[in-house]
Structure formats: C-alpha cells, structure tokens
Amino acid sequence: MRATLCGLSVAISGRADEDAAGSAVEGGADIVWRDRAVSDALVVPDLPYGTAAVIRHEETVWIEQSYGDSEGMPICRFRISGDGRVVLSESLVRLAWSDLYGLFTEPVMRTILSRMGLVSFHASALVKQGAAILIMGQKGAGKSSLSAALTRVGWQLIADDLVRIVERNGHCFATAGGTVPRVNADTARALGFDPATLATRWTNPRATGNKFVLPAPTAGTPPSEVPIRAVLLLDPRGSDLETPDWCRLGGVQALPGLVANLTPDPLNPSARPTREAMRVTGGLLRQAAICRVRLPDRLDALITAAAAVDARLAEGGCVAA
C-alpha cells in the first residue's frame, strides 16, 4: 500500500497489505512503515501515552511512542528510526485500521518530520483558486470550526492540524496531509449536520478527544502542493463580536505568532526553533499576508463569519483593519 503525506511517499506493509512483498512496496519510498498486528497484550514503556522517548536496540537509536484506549490499556506502539525513515509498529488486532492510520498521520508524522529536519506547523491548510491559507490558533480559538465552515463556502481542506511547508525557488508551499474535518457536536449542528448521522474520529465513541467527522466534499483529490497566500492567526473568540475582527500584521508583529505554531521537536518540546525552521518562517513572512483574526463566540454566526473571511480574502489578501 502506498500513501502520500506531507509531500512524502509512505510505503505501508503489514495489516494494510498482507500480500505485499516488502521490497516491491518499499522501493523508492521516503518512509517505510511496517505494522504487525498482535492478539496478546502489549508491553509498553511506563510513560504517558504519546510521549516520545529514545530507546536503543542493537546499537541503533529509535524513538518510541505508545497509545492506549479509553480504559487506559495500551493498543499500539510505534518505533521510529533516528532519521525518521523507518517506522515499525505493533497494534492489537481489535484496533481498527482507521484508528491506527489516524495516529500515524498526526502524532507519529510530527516525530517523523522532526527527525527528518523538515518544517511543519500546527495549522489547517485550505485551498481555493490555486492558493492556500493557513489557519493557526490555540485550542478554543475556532481553528477547526472555521476550517470546516470555509469548506461550506468553496474552500477545500488539504491538511488538518499538521501542515508541512516546502520552500522551493524562494516560494513557500503547503503540502497535503490529513484531510478529515473534525468538529464537536455543536459545531456540526451549526453547519447543518445531525451528529447522530456522522462517524466519529475514533471508532470507540468513548475515546478521549473524540470528534465528529464531516462528510468529505466533492471537490476531488486535493493538490499535493499549493502556494501560500495568507496565514490567519486566531485569537480567542469574542462574545462582543458580530463579525470577525481582523488586522494585518507587519513582520515584527507576525513573527512571534508563527514561531509559536511551529511543530516542536517531540523529544525536546522546549527547544528553540531550528535554523531551518526560522529560514522557512522568514520566507513565509515575505510571501504571505499574516493576519490576526478574532471570531464571534456564537456558533449561529459561524457560516456568516466564514463568508466574511472568504470575502476579505477575495479582496486581494488581508486588508488592514
């Protein structure tokens, strides 16, 4: 089985492709992921689930991350090679493939990108008319809600939560990654969906942080790379607002907001950004309009707010308030 994530080709073997010959599947891939399904209980390091830890196996350095179910029992473990190019996983047979793949596309990919020295942001990326916007914001600012609402006014989601940035010939591009829009029940209703008819992110409805998955749009296969036109930095939502509050930032003002949303090294989350990360961030500052946006704290105004954001971007970028 082959997949493309964050501009990288991934060869997957194991439960995803029981009959694949390893050499044929893995040839030419950027990342090789081999999974082994097990029926017995897993023994994992005594660390919080999701924590990246260095281990040594036969004089080789690996990074290990484990995950558990809603009862706190381990359900899978990933071992990532020091250079990020090989991933070995063990997962319980009862764990749905969609859940295992969901863990790989976000938390594990963060570690892979970090190990490979590639730059990414905690952000959503959407595209319209051949140009992309990035939406960044802390929990509760409305990133997922706005992203989902923008798909209702003509935008296509190409990456949700993790966006790798590629710089080529002086231009920055957003790469396609996980593209499943996930929202809570109230947001789903505000967008015209009945949560009872929607699938959940995790097959176990009691899973921590579970959200509802919106139907896939009919926009077709997302482009693999899109030039970035604007970055929206979301502030906490305002109960006093009727429409989005909008301000374009200069380079000095915009830099802290971008740096704060760089994907940290899972092995050293407090480390300063790498030189490569700052170089790419500088390119993003030169290329894209960086805007600080505050949304109304009213779900009944969500679609209206998305239409206002869409109209502002259609004016030719982000016009200073």
What three-state secondary structure class fits 258? helix
The domain boundary, picked from 115, 139, 166, lies at 115
The parent domain of residue 284 ranges over 120-179+216-314
In a domain, 194, yes or no: no
Contact 147, 160 (CB under 8 A): yes
pLDDT value of residue 14: 81
Between helices 302-314 and 143-150, what is the axis angle to 10°? 70
The answer to whether residues 23 and 172 belong to one domain is no
Contact 284, 232 (CB under 8 A): no
**Spatial separation of the C-alpha atoms in residues 321 and 51, rounded to whole Å:** 42
pLDDT value of residue 262: 97
> Distance between alpha carbon 115 and the CA centroid of its chain, in Å?
17
The answer to whether residues 107 and 174 belong to one domain is no
b/e 50-84 (16+ beta carbons within 10 angstroms → b): eebeeeeeeeeebbbbbbbbeeeebbbbbbbbeeb
The answer to whether residues 75 and 127 belong to one domain is no
In a domain, 107, yes or no: yes
What is the average per-residue pLDDT within 292-304?
Answer: 93
The answer to whether residues 106 and 128 belong to one domain is no
At 206, list the tokens. 């009691």
The answer to whether residues 154 and 286 belong to one domain is yes
The answer to whether residues 223 and 280 belong to one domain is yes
Between helices 275-287 and 251-260, what is the axis angle to 10°? 130
Question: Per-residue pLDDT tens for 194-235?
Answer: 999 998 888 887 777 788 988 876 666 778 899 999 999 999
User: Please, which pLDDT band fits residue 320 given cuts at 50, 70 and 90?
Assistant: very low
In a domain, 319, yes or no: no
The answer to whether residues 101 and 131 belong to one domain is no
Total of domains in the chain: 2
pLDDT value of residue 123: 95
In a domain, 226, yes or no: yes
At 10, list the tokens. 């991934």
The answer to whether residues 142 and 100 belong to one domain is no
In a domain, 185, yes or no: no
pLDDT value of residue 47: 86
Contact 93, 84 (CB under 8 A): no
Q: How many CB atoms lie under 10 A from the CB of residue 251?
A: 11
pLDDT value of residue 12: 93
What is the average per-residue pLDDT within 44-57?
Answer: 87
Burial of residue 223 (number of CB atoms within 10 Å: 0-12, 13-18, 19+):
middle
What is the average per-residue pLDDT within 236-254?
Answer: 92
Which residues are 53's β-sheet partners?
A: 64
At 49, list the tokens. 């689930």
The mean pLDDT of the chain is 89
Phi-psi region of 54 (alpha: psi -120 to 50; beta: other; left: phi over 0): beta
> Distance between alpha carbon 91 and the CA centroid of its chain, in Å?
22
User: Please, which pLDDT band fits residue 18 given cuts at 50, 70 and 90?
Assistant: very low
What is the average per-residue pLDDT within 108-127?
Answer: 96
In a domain, 193, yes or no: no
